[in-house]
Chains A and B, each alone.
Chain A
Amino acid sequence: MARRKADLAVVGRDQPRLDGADKLTGRSLFTDDVVLPGMLVGKVVRSPHARARILSIDTSAARALPGVKAVITHAEAAKVVIGINQPLFRSDTVNYIGDEVAAVAAVDEATAARAAALVRVEYEPLPPLPTIDAALADGAPILHAKAEGNLAWQSAEDRGDPDAGFGAAATIREDTYTTHASHNCYAEFHAVVADWSRPERLTVWTPTQTALLYQKSIARSLGLTDGAVRLMTLNTGGGFTGRTSARPHHFVAALLSRQAGRPVKIRASADEEFIVCRAGGEVRYRYRTGVDADGRILAFEADLLFDTGAYVETQMIVTTLTAAYIHTLYKVDATRYRGRLVHTNNIPYYFHHGGGIAQMAFGLGLHMDALARQLGMDPVDFHLKNMVTEGHTSLTGTYFASCGLGECIRRATKQAGWKRKYGRQKPLRGIGLGIGAMASGAKGVFRHDTSAAFIKVMDDGTMTLFVGLPDMGQSSHTAMAIIAAEVLGAEVADITVVSGDTDITPLDVGAFTQRGTFNTGNAVKAAALDARRQLEVTAAAQLDCRRSQLVFRGREVCSQAAPDRRVPLKKIIYDTLHSREGRFVMGRGFYNSPKESGTMAYSFGAQVAEVSIDPDSGVITVERVVVAHDVGRAINPRIVEGQMDGQVFSGMSQVLYEETLLEDGQVLNPSRLDYKMPRSYEMPRVEHIIVESIDPFGPFGAKEVGEGPIVCTVPAIANAVANALGVPVTEMPIAPWKVLRLLGRRGGKGG
């Protein structure tokens, strides 16, 4: 396959997203836009207590209200278990503010709200455990019988010989950090429409990053076959790692629909969104690193303590992800990891944007930067000395077939003027470097990591590409069309992408762990190659050449040997079908990482952030961020830049602004107003450097740009702030009052 840019006709060209015009004219449909005949409105009755015993539930008044068509509690749904052995509704105790106790469906929103208010629940409040410390205190009540000491899950592993590594170290540094609870804040609130009017068929419309996993978990919990559940994804208004597993409201809507025999829509209200979304909880990190006299890392230890909230959904994945992260950045021969999930009476936490890694990268970046300074090294030199390189195999068995990390570090720091600025800034101005890596794929999290694709080729030269990968804004469907067009010598305009209906579209694990471009891209490439092979028979006969000599490009086919003799692609397709054999052209392909565990490719990045601090208020202004990211190959460069921009925003927002403020388990700021995120005024200048390491396994060399940049933004800004302050930073978000406290610690208020 062509590797040089010049050989590529479609890949690498700026291509406006295919669904752009629909999104810009209001034609794109989202779940809240779905209106079905007879559709009801569902409401969930939630616990107002962080922890309480349920004494009684009386739904008679709700049932008696005219217009109410379904009321369910644990009594009606006792067999429905979701997540890890979690009953859908509570019957004995409630464990957080928002815990599902009952649900109603009625003819309209006002009636549903009235009915929900008429469900009488008598509680005996119990003292809640609102923090990690409270949950781990001696004598603390145990929230779940199976979770001794309120430890919901723990994992520990040594790789190599960390004791020997630390024993041989010339310098050992240890630091602790905290990241606070935060929330994804998507544009589109959680919503679902479920139609289970007929017992043998359940159709669910909902925004998701993975139709497959939603379909499977809904089917399993409701006792249906996968085929009986049709998952419809229209558009998904933001994912940010937060829409990767079905939530209680998905099951609730289905059950309400079954009971009422009519479709039901549930849409989270503004503050309910903070409960339904889950997002990230507080995490405490302890990092310890031992280096030799030259500054080479000999051993690394990470001990992570997560507030996992009232229940564990699939948050143990976060321990898998964070345990392996260090090995994707540095060459380390010995590591020790411990991860513990602690039950509290907070919202059951899940993932915020960056999937646990961006949050982990806050402290890790600060720690490594501080270590470099302790050693008298420029952080740039420290990273260059220790970073992974192409051809390296890590302790986790990961082989890095491509790695542009060094190039990212060199180019980002050069463009930012690092040498000129680092250590030479005016007071209260800072510059920081953040590096990161990100897997393209989920192998290891799941047994298989398969994406599949079909392509149907019509005799007028147009094509329909079927993929199961959702596009929640990252423009992946357009990227898939580009890949198919490149292989088939078509133009992107010739291709229609069909997705979002599990009855039609092929299997795909989904759009998370940055697997879309790599896995689904490879599947699409395989499907397009399959279709092309079917056309090659006709083309080779017409052009009197071997099939291997054929070139498909620019809606034409020619032979390498005689490039001036070109046949329109449309004619080749037409003649293939309109032959005696009537060969209909339909390609199929799939991709799964051939490895036992672990993914085939990693993207790498480096970012340099510059900040200034107002000593009167502690307000931090991010002035400039230089982003260098090794995406393997930019399939669609301007879209790649857009991904970088969004992650700079989200990373900056997390480091400096975002915090779900909790008091006794209650969210104090559950709104777009009080949950602080920056807006237009606050955005820095962002400069983009696209590094293309051309991965041998990626489609046309592509890897990912899904969450790689954010794991660099977070440490870059954190380090810039620490650099400006000259004292250690330990907590995220770095709110302005924390800055003032740190300035006070430093003595004086600076220049």
Chain B
Amino acid sequence: MTHRQFITLTVNGDRREVVVTPEMLLLDVLRDGFGLTGTKRGCTSGACGVCTVQGDDGRAVLSCLSLAIQWDGRSVTTIEGVAGPEGLHPVQQAFLEFGAVQCGYCTPGLVMTVKALLDRTPAADAAAIDEALAGAICRCTGHIKVKEAARQAVLRLQAAAQEQAHGPAQG
């Protein structure tokens, strides 16, 4: 039998110690240990994207291909940590308004994928959006409204950044 050990994992800003064995996936610890079931279990082989979370380097991470033990001392953001106290994150808001949500099973993974992309590449163009979304699959939307929502999120975030830099056009 493999040995158990404590790891320190920060999820959505909450730092916790959890007991893991080496074979436990980040996915399982998030869902079963933290009770954060927004991160979905899909193909568990890295091909469908529904388990995507965001790592401390800002990148999209497949939690089904990450050992929890590898995340000792690090932090991740899951779908439950994306919306702020003021409401939905601009990516979520764009998904909602532009009809990018259907059955909802792949939605958390898609949101995390797009958020990770925009955090690192605020001016992501259509090609960059295609590249990021190619790691996920969605029969419901065919990615079309998801891509549109991602483009809208880019525009809104850019506008917000501009406003912050120069102040609103009118006080």
A residues near B, CB below 8 A?
16-17, 19-30, 32-33, 184-189, 235-240, 267, 270, 353, 472-475, 638-639, 641-642, 645-650, 653, 671-673, 677, 679-681, 683, 686
Among B40, B48, B92, B142: residue with most chain A CB under 10 A: B142
Q: Give the docked Cα–Cα distance between A472 and B106 (Å).
A: 13
Assess the A26–B140 pair: CB atoms within 8 A: no
Q: Give the docked Cα–Cα distance between A17 and B101 (Å).
A: 8
Give chain B nearest CB distance to A627 CB in angstroms: 11
Assess the B103–A238 pair: CB atoms within 8 A: yes
| 21 A-B pairs in the complex with CB atoms less than 8 angstroms apart | A17-B101, A30-B105, A187-B42, A187-B48, A187-B138, A187-B139, A188-B103, A188-B105, A235-B105, A237-B104, A237-B105, A353-B139, A473-B104, A638-B98, A645-B144, A672-B45, A672-B48, A672-B137, A677-B139, A679-B134, A683-B147
Contact of A23 among B107, B131, B141 (CB under 8 A): B107
Residues of B within 8 A of A475 (CB): 102
Assess the B39–A24 pair: CB atoms within 8 A: no
Contact of A238 among B134, B139, B145, B146 (CB under 8 A): B139
Assess the B139–A185 pair: CB atoms within 8 A: yes
Residue of B nearest to A674 (CB): B47
Residues of B within 8 A of A22 (CB): 104
Say yes or no: A186-B139 contact (C-beta < 8 A), given A23-B107, A270-B44: yes
Contact of A677 among B79, B96, B102, B137 (CB under 8 A): B137
Is residue B59 within 8 Å, beta carbon to beta carbon, of the partner chain? no
Assess the B142–A649 pair: CB atoms within 8 A: yes
Q: Give the docked Cα–Cα distance between A653 and B129 (Å).
A: 20
Interface size class of B (residues with CB under 8 A): 35 or more
Assess the B99–A25 pair: CB atoms within 8 A: no
Residues of B within 8 A of A474 (CB): 102
Assess the A648–B142 pair: CB atoms within 8 A: yes
Residue of B nearest to A25 (CB): B83
Q: Give the docked Cα–Cα distance between A24 and B129 (Å).
A: 18
Assess the B38–A26 pair: CB atoms within 8 A: yes
Is residue B37 within 8 Å, beta carbon to beta carbon, of the partner chain? yes
Say yes or no: A649-B139 contact (C-beta < 8 A), given A26-B108, A187-B48: yes
B residues near A, CB below 8 A?
31, 36-45, 47-48, 50, 78-80, 82-83, 88, 92, 95-108, 111, 129-131, 133-134, 136-147
Give chain B nearest CB distance to A499 CB in angstroms: 14
Assess the B133–A679 pair: CB atoms within 8 A: yes
Among B41, B47, B101: residue with most chain A CB under 10 A: B101
Residue of B nearest to A675 (CB): B47
Assess the A26–B36 pair: CB atoms within 8 A: yes
Assess the B142–A25 pair: CB atoms within 8 A: no
Q: Give the docked Cα–Cα distance between A33 and B88 (Å).
A: 23
Residues of A within 8 A of B138 (CB): 187
Say yes or no: A646-B96 contact (C-beta < 8 A), given A24-B88, A26-B80: no
Residues of A within 8 A of B31 (CB): 33
Give chain B nearest CB distance to A189 CB in angstroms: 7
Q: Give the docked Cα–Cα distance between A677 and B141 (Å).
A: 13
Residues of A within 8 A of B133 (CB): 679-680
Assess the B45–A24 pair: CB atoms within 8 A: no
Give chain B nearest CB distance to A476 CB in angstroms: 11
Residues of B within 8 A of A238 (CB): 103, 105, 139-140
Residues of A within 8 A of B82 (CB): 25
Assess the B37–A642 pair: CB atoms within 8 A: no
Residue of B nearest to A647 (CB): B142
Assess the A641–B139 pair: CB atoms within 8 A: no
Assess the A680–B129 pair: CB atoms within 8 A: yes
Q: Give the docked Cα–Cα distance between A680 and B39 (Å).
A: 21
Among A240, A473, A673, A677: residue with most chain B CB under 10 A: A473
Contact of B140 among A187, A235, A679, A686 (CB under 8 A): A187
Say yes or no: A16-B97 contact (C-beta < 8 A), given A677-B139, A680-B133: yes
Contact of A24 among B36, B96, B131, B141 (CB under 8 A): B96
Say yes or no: A20-B78 contact (C-beta < 8 A), given A187-B103, A238-B105, A649-B144: no
Assess the A681–B79 pair: CB atoms within 8 A: no
8 closest A-B pairs by beta carbon, nearest first, are A26-B38, A649-B142, A473-B103, A237-B105, A23-B104, A473-B102, A26-B79, A187-B105
Contact of B143 among A19, A33, A185, A680 (CB under 8 A): A680
